[in-house]
Structure 1
Amino acid sequence: MRKVKITRRAFLAQMAIIAASGALAACGATPTATPVPPTATKAPAAAPTAAPGAAQPTATKAPAVVATAAPAAAGEVAPGVPRTECLILENPTGRVVPADDFNRWRPGIQSSSTGLQQIGLDALWYIDPDEGIDGVWDNALAAEKPIYNKDFTQMTVKLRKGIYWSDGVEFTADDLIYTVDVQKNTPGFAYTGQFQKNVASMEKLDNYTVVFKLLQPNSRFHAYFTVRWGACFLMPKHVFEKASDPLAFKFNPPVSLGAYTLKDYDPQGDWYLWQRREDWQRTSVAKFGMPGPKYAMYISPGPSDKKVIAQTSKQLDVIHDMAPEGMITLAKTNPNSKAWFKSFPWAHPDPTLPAVILNHGRPPYDMKEVRWALTLAIDIVRVAMASYRGAATISGLHVPPTGLYPKYYFDPLEQWLKDFTIDIGGTPYKPWDPTAPQRIADEARKTLGNMVPTDAKEIRKSLGMGWWKYDTAAAEKLLLSKGFKRGSNKMWLLPDGTPWKIDLICEGDTRPVMNRAAAQIAECWKEFG
């Protein structure tokens, strides 16, 4: 099981190892429960519009996520698709609406995590925020790293030769040029603005070399084509150029550049089934070897409790994210469930950082003293316990303390954070609290016992190196210095005498940990007045 986003390239490279080792819960030798095979039906009348010249997969009825007595070796996830040959992964988006739209380049598309960008599409480069398979940088469709001129007004891309789309057409410089050109000149695409702002022209030197001439120096222009999670994936020119409206075009069925092609999907958007290409050697992941599973199915498993049931009953191999209670249950009851870490906190919840974002252009949040007061009024231990039961990654910087970031940011800045001061009433005040991770671990240990590490280095690696102090007395001084006063009910009044109210908007029910974090922060602020 996985609780955090895994890079597409690491996923594909590891699939063979996972499948062969028997680490997947579904592929054990003992009799296990499997999903009921779906009943094949025709696609509804409002069937997806097929890509020009491409064969269309038939949408079928969704498989019921229920257990049967059949052993895994005998079960099927779909007609002719053995369970033992299929890796079942969570689609973190949930049910996809509309289910038949695969135009990844249009903003708002919901089908990105159905396997489309993970194993169907491809990009020039990839970055692994940890260590990667062969280093943190991976040349995928590109044969080497981007080449800039001295003043970064020109970038040359050399493409990998021998890469083919799943319909047999070779991937060339024409596809790269078209991907940029159609988005630059068609308002509404995801990268329209970026390309209009940066690209002056493009020159095709040969079928595998493209030179970008930029409107201004940009040493990070390649980042638009580099995947950490998303990027500008490459478009098949020979398919999109036949569409009368490339922005509205649904790209159904998607022509694949990755090692898998879409075999089938649920018209209700609950699952997507992919099959390994027979010519997988003609994809960029071939350098890592053949992807293990013949099939991969991305499903919408429902809330956290249903994910636990599905994985325990061997109906779900890879979990993207879940409430901490679910991971605790799996850690205690299911030896086949494996996380990034051997024990607490099992994984970093996300390679990004959940955060409270204030509108600095709106009073009173345009005053740094107010923002500091709100920060010092948050008890991060209570927030971590309420949201992730302590398994939260905390950071005082705007990057997470994961992957390579500790080496490049946190370690060099640690002493600076310890020495950092803000002014409170003319007195320097040090707001940094390096004890926060230890206090979170101590609190979590009260309920999780020896699952929680005691080694300071492990705690630092797992939870972070610190956060800001919980000091309501200091917070009060900051507000008083800016004209705030307490009313007769001890609640804060704005400098103009009106009651201070804060509307805190958080995510929906699909992210319960975020809701709980927001609720706890609101409770801290309410206690503060």
Structure 2
Amino acid sequence: MASTKRLAALLAIASIVVGACGTSGQTASPAGESVAPTTPAASAEVTPAPSAGAETYPRNETLYTTGKQWGPPSTWNPLDPNAAMGTVGLQYESLLLYDPLADTWDPWLAESATWTDPTTYTIKTRSGVTWSDGTPFTADDVAFTIGLGKIKAVGWNIWDYVTEATATDASTVVVKFSDPAYQEWALWTYDKPILPRHIWESKANEDILTDTNANGVGTGPYKYKTAAEDRMVYERNETWWAKAALGLEAKPRYIVDIVNGANNVALGLLMQGGIDLSNNFLPGIATLVDNGYVSTYFPEAPYMLSGNTAWLVTNDKKPPLDDPQFRLAIAHAVNVPDIVNKVYGNIVKAADPTGLLPTWEKYVDTAQRDALGFKYDPAKAASLLDAAGYKKGGDGFYTNKDGSPIKLTIMVPTGWSDWEAARDVIVASLIAAGINAEARIVDYNGLVDARNNFDFDLVVNNEVQISNTPWTYYDYMFRLPLMEGAGKNRNYGGYENPEAWALVQQLDKTPVDDVAAMQAITSKLQKISLTEMPVIPLWYNGMWSQVSNVVWTNWPSDGANRILPATWNGYWQMGAVKMLTQLQLVQP
């Protein structure tokens, strides 16, 4: 039975979570409606109630997760970025794994993968691997999957620089390049899944994403079992190759991923052991960690690993935001310490002025950053505006240089409570610095439409995730030519700097093991970003991960098992799959 102390903690935390709702995760996601939490009944362990008639699973064989899935699972197509949690990583696997915490690569479906000359990449596939239908995995599967990149609907651009991918024998693939994009290719090798040719060859056309692929055939540690409106269920693949090859065995027999709902419900289930791992933002979690009721990656602030940078994107096509000095003034005006301390309760960290994530620390030119970087300093913001020729009107607010009023609006999606609170801090900061501003209330779809059509002043965005390379960050910031329409996912502010874009392309064509060359290029890019401020880094969005030790233990942490503790897209291939092999049942 749950202790009286646990129930008391739930009652105490209730006051914190009233009015709070879910917000941005590995990708910023819409929230459920805010409702007041109820105190759950005492119980040693609680299982999320399945749909009527749904199968139940032994609690000591089942891992319950939540945090990735917004809405009922509807596709298990590994080429679809909206595929159900675990489709890629648990069911379909990549050639390599990349560990961003250790900055190391692990052979996975590839036993080895090396550049044998500057334009030739040779892959040796792992022997003894079979697809879940018993068909042997071979080099043909790898060459076929690379070839799928020629299909426009798949959305890969690898054939911009790949010229040939050939299975020269049953275990060898030779990939030829014309002008290698080393950074992009390295990302592809761990981020993208390998598909079975014997299943997908007949589907390899522009309609390939229409196949929902329920109960698909993969090589991974889990197989599709069933799905419902509120959950996705996987069952362990008892013939997973890694057991014999690497001595790895997934411990839970079943994984049940619960569709995200109201955060107070998730918090109650987590407290009682009904949810084992929550990858949602949960308000008040620091209080629960400090009192020993749940665990996080770090035992104290910031509690979470950093998963992405939250930016203030400026519309660089619109006066006065087209003025770098005005953007720098905004950077100094925003009270980021209040966002970190008051909005998030110290479960996030302020971003480095370069915006580079902590895992990219070795690429930060610290001397240049210290000389050119910004910090919260309203007096500095005022001096920048004054020096740039902006003057205050009779209302105390700065005006444009022609004397016309300035009134900026800032957008975040309605319902993302932490971002709404951060937005309010930003608005208050700008007003205090003499820059008139107000919130623009808009739902997620409305925000995307406005942002992608330059119909905005300021918008918070966090779409660059942790990865093996800072190239992804700079491609996001400086991408040219400017993208248009619904597919726009880079350079939302419209900043145009051909010199910076040339450096980004140079970085892309730099081998990933040439760290010195990468550092030299990123230093130049940082100088441009720190002086031009095309986007303003504010804080590191947390890799939200709260775990219960009621049923399972030995979770990833800073002290041991330094593994990413997230179920979000792409994270399984960055080593999170190993978390499942390290879990241990709590002994009765």
Give the secondary-structure state (helix, strand or coil) at the position aligned to 1:505.
Answer: strand
Residue 10 (structure 2) pairs with residue 105 (structure 1):
no
The aligned counterpart of 1:27 is none
Residue 492 of structure 1 corresponds to which residue in structure 2?
398
Task: Give aligned pairs, total.
Answer: 394
Task: Say if 2:410 is the partner of 1:504.
Answer: yes
Shift of 1:383: 1.7
TM-score by length of 1: 0.69
Residue 358 of structure 1 pairs with residue 332 of structure 2: no
Determine the C-alpha separation between the residues in 1 that align with 2:406 and 2:290.
Answer: 45
- Contact in 1 for aligned 2:236/2:254 (Cα 8 Å): yes
Corresponding residue of 1:89: 65
Contact 2:161/2:178 (<8 A) preserved: yes
Deviations 1:157-179 (A, max 9, x none): 22111211111122222222222
406, 427, 436: which is aligned to 1:522?
427
Q: Specify which of 165, 189, 205 is matched with residue 154 of structure 2.
A: 189
Q: How far has the Cα of 1:221 moved from its partner?
A: 4.5
The 2-side partners of 1:170 and 1:487 are apart by 74
Aligned to 1:136, which of 101, 104, 109? 104
Change (3 A) 1:33 1:246: closer
Mapped partners of 2:63, 2:367: distance in 1: 46
The question of whether the paired residues in 1 share the 8 Å contact of 2:242 and 2:249 is answered with no
Amino acid at match of 1:330: L
Instruction: Determine whether 1:342 maps to 2:307.
Output: no
Letter in 1 for 2:384: L
Which SS does the other structure have where 2:307 is aligned?
coil
Query: 1:180-210 CA deviation, whole Å, 9 max, x = no partner?
Result: 22231x222131xx12311112222112211
Higher Rg: 1
| Identity among equivalent pairs (%) | 23
CA distance in 1 between counterparts of 2:139 and 2:213 reads 20
Q: Which amino acid aligns with 2:75?
A: D
Shift of 1:235: 1.8
The residue that corresponds to 1:261 in the other structure is: 223
Taking the aligned partners of 1:5 and 1:145, their CA distance within structure 2 comes to 32
Aligned with 1:39 (options 47, 52, 55): 52
Q: Structure 2 CA distance, aligned partners of 1:130 and 1:315?
A: 29
Give the strand-richer structure, 1 or 2.
2
**Cα distance in 1 between the residues matched to 2:386 and 2:272:** 57
Q: 1:322-364: per-residue Cα shift (whole Å, max 9, x none)?
A: 2341x134325553x221112232212x322111122334443
Aligned twin of 1:369: 325
Give yes or no for contact 2:154–2:209 (8 Å, CA) kept in 1. Answer: yes
Higher relative contact order (CA 8 A, sep 6+): 2
Q: Per-residue deviation at 1:304?
A: 2.8
Q: Distance in 2 between matches of 1:124 and 1:498?
A: 57
Preserved CA contact (<8 Å) 1:175 1:236: yes
1:398 Cα offset (Å):
4.0
- Give the secondary-structure state (helix, strand or coil) at the position aligned to 2:256: strand
Q: Which amino acid aligns with 1:94?
A: W
Offset, 1:34:
2.9
- From 118, 122, 147, the equivalent of 1:156 is 122
Measure the CA separation in 2 of the matches of 1:373 and 1:284: 56
Q: Is the 8 A contact 2:130 2:137 kept in 1?
A: yes
CA distance in 2, matches of 1:172, 1:4: 39
2:254 aligned with 1:291, yes or no?
no
1:134-168: CA deviation from partner (whole Å, max 9, x where unpaired): x721111111243241xx32222221112111111
Give the unaligned 5+ runs of structure 1: 7-29, 41-59, 61-77, 422-431, 433-467
Match of 1:213 in 2: 176
User: Aligned partner of 1:204: which letter?
Assistant: A
| Inter-CA distance 285–305: structure 2 relative to 1 (3 Å threshold) | farther
Q: Give yes or no for the alignment of 1:170 onto 2:136.
A: yes
- 1:86–1:296 contact (8 Å) kept in structure 2: yes
Q: 2:267 is matched by which residue type in structure 1?
A: V
For 2:46 and 2:280, locate their aligned partners in 1 and report how far apart those are by CA, in whole Å. 22
* Aligned residue type for 2:152: P
Q: Whole-Å Cα distance in 2 between the matches of residues 155 and 206 of structure 1?
A: 15
Provide the alpha-carbon RMSD of the alignment: 2.7
Residue correspondence of structure 1 range 318-467 to structure 2 within 5 A: 318-325=277-284, 327-332=285-290, 335=293, 337-348=294-305, 350-403=306-359, 405-406=360-361, 408-410=362-364, 413-418=365-370, 420-421=371-372, 432=373
